[in-house]
Structure 1
Amino acid sequence: MIAKYISRTLLYAVLLIAALFFLAPFYVMLATSLKDAAQIRSGNLLSLPTSINFDAWGLAWSSACTGVDCRGLQPYFWNSVTMAVPAVLLSTAWGAINGYVLSLWKFKGSELLFGFLLFGVFMPFQVVLLPMSQVLGFLNLSSSIGGLVLVHCLAGMAGTTLFFRNYYTAIPRELVNAARIDGAGFWRIFWRIVLPLSTPILMVTLIWQFTNIWNDFLFGVAFSGADSKPITVGLNNMANTSSSVKSYNVDMAAAVIAGLPTMLVYVLAGQYFVKGLTAGAVKG
């Protein structure tokens, strides 16, 4: 009994240390963003603010300079929202249909096709920058939010297909066969039988895709234009904008603002993410 108590105490201690280690950067960013310049100069990174000051947040949102543009992160934030929402929904729907076909409507060569799709999961995105830029130019989508949506849908197709295909292989084929005997077709089976069983994997894929797309910097800096840059590019430009006095509190506030949407997603829907994974989202 004592050994069990000691082992549990050690386990909690290790978990607590790990949590503190990973939360330390967030604490530094949040604490620094609430300080004014005098507190930053007189204190250290780990010191608490002597008084709460939200001026840096207002500057980061609406008036801090990113290069020669002094509108803060606000336009970049809304660019990311306009890009991420349709890209997440479209890539998730695309993956669901692909996974449905490759698991429950197999055809000759479907396993080979799935194998080729898996290459997209492990392929470094740097190798597609040049051909993707040529495709966007051909479609007249260069330097636009629509082009970024298309890029993220294509980049996420392999991963979302893998998630849904592996999840749908656990659905008894007898359900599909019985529905086909009753006269149900491809889309009716998908909407009436498969999709209602897909809530766990839908949550996993939506959260996964939103995190990847919102936090992406490579595609954002490579394929965006002056009016379509996402928030990651805006944050980088703000941090690298030279001035006579470096405003660390503004930079930290901007970093917290950029990370808030993904943090909120995990706080509000994190339990569904864990349930989806344990329900078989990555098995197979």
Structure 2
Amino acid sequence: MSEDDEDFAGCRPLLFTIAYEILGSAADAEDVVQDSYLRWHAVRGKGIGHPRAYLVRTVTRQALNHLRAARRRREEYVGPWLPEPVRTAPDVSEDVVLAESVSMAMLLVLETLGPDERAVFVLREVFGYSHREVAGLVGRSEATVRQIAHRAREHVRARRKRFHHDPGTAREVVGRFLSAAGTGDVGTLMSLLAPGVVHVSDGGGLVSAARRPVAGRERVARFVAGVARRSAPGTRFDITSCNALPAVLFRVGDRIDQALVFEISGGLVHGMYAVGNPHKLGAAVTPRLLSRKGHETWKP
């Protein structure tokens, strides 16, 4: 591997994280990063003074192009659309800003922003770029970026949900939840759910899934018990972390059948996101490194 390739590899987690937060799709984010590498490979050695800045700009603009096209596809999506769950290492939660920014709740809030607002918010609020730097990354004037950033920040602030969970307590809650679901114990399930709990399922029209969110303690408990009762024989599960949140991966044979991501606060489940669309489960196979920083030798 050449020195340039090593530098790119060091920057890849940053580039992927930017693309994923703009797109909400791990597969599309990986395509954007790979395309950016090919563009970098074609121009390296041609007087680029700040390689990391070049790559971040390239990834941002490619992600914006992908997002505008994806918006049209998502309008025709069957049932609720959820971001692709990304399996994360436990230490991701140590970076509070990063952990919140990749949570399912935040990614769904970001879905309500326009493409430019989303990119500006992510670059400014999550990655800490200045208004001037963001202007260069998205190809807008600094004054315009300031206006977009203010509008996006107010929009997110009005809609964001904050959940603070203790990893040890969360894992215990998930374990008790799975045990109760497996035995059909609706009463215990209800005791683990917050009154306003919401369960959202994404099957993409490819697998069986609720076409609308299920809300309320009793309705969610009965829904979960019913799903568990109908699960395929031999289904296994792993308790892990996706999007810096406690999660369960259900496996049938060698494949992941579903990823269930939990929002837990105060010892109660406030939200569940069940992703069964097989096209969205690739990034849940192995832990992925997410980062708000790049290679130290590459500084804009």
Q: Shorter-chain TM-score category?
A: under 0.3
Report 1 or 2 for greater relative contact order, CA contacts < 8 Å, sequence distance ≥ 6.
1
* Structure holding more helix per residue: 1
TM-score (norm 2): 0.23
TM-score (norm 1): 0.23
Larger radius of gyration: 1
* Structure holding more strand per residue: 2
